[in-house]
């Protein structure tokens, strides 16, 4: 099987089935008559821009990012927001983000990685993220950006 066809089958698999590990992918590919090594699969996933994220309910899943060789922090943040954001509130120069329990640290890490100029830093608990901004207006801007990501999904 050609690399192009193998890549097509991998992408089709991660879109249609809930696979949680590379071994699950290998097992599913084998059912379709595609036998490859784990190292080959790992290289294919990197080339395809496929990453592993924690989905709703805490289970892992694979997603393809828009970039082929590397993924951008914005892609991860978008997934975090769509999957885990429950609410966001601006209070003075602070933003409180409520998440599904167990996902606040991932959300905080994604916000740190995105490097929005309004954000000074984040602090996470189990289901809340405290975002410190430079001003009251910056806090409102962060909430607006979060809401725009949800609307654009």
| CATH number of the structural domain spanning residue 109 | 3.30.1360.40
| Per-residue pLDDT band at 64 (split at 50, 70, 90) | confident
Q: In this structure, what token pair is assigned to residue 105?
A: 């640290």
Contact 139, 95 (CB under 8 A): yes
Nearest to 139 by CA among 91, 86, 83, 68: 91
CATH number at residue 56: 1.10.10.10
124-133 average pLDDT score: 97
Number of domains in the chain: 2
Residue 120, SS3 per DSSP = strand
85 and 124 together in one domain: yes
pLDDT in tens, 4-62: 888 889 988 988 888 889 999 999 999 989 999 999 999 888 888 888 887 767 788 88
Provide the whole-model pTM: 0.55
CA distance 71 to 21: 19
């Amino acid at each position: 099987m050609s690399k192009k066809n193998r890549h097509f089958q991998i992408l089709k698999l991660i879109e249609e089935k809930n696979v949680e590990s590379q071994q699950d992918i290998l097992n599913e590919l084998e059912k379709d008559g595609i036998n490859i090594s784990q190292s080959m699969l790992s290289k294919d996933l990197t080339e395809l821009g496929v990453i592993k994220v924690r989905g709703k309910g805490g289970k892992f899943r694979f997603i393809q990012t828009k970039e082929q060789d590397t993924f951008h922090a914005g892609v991860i943040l978008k997934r975090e927001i769509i999957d885990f954001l429950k609410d966001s509130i601006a209070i003075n120069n602070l933003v409180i983000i409520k998440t599904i329990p167990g996902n606040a640290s991932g959300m905080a890490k994604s916000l740190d990685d995105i490097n929005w100029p309004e954000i000074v830093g984040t602090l996470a608990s189990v289901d809340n993220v405290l975002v410190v901004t430079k001003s009251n207006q910056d806090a409102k801007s962060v909430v607006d950006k979060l809401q725009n990501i949800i609307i654009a999904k």
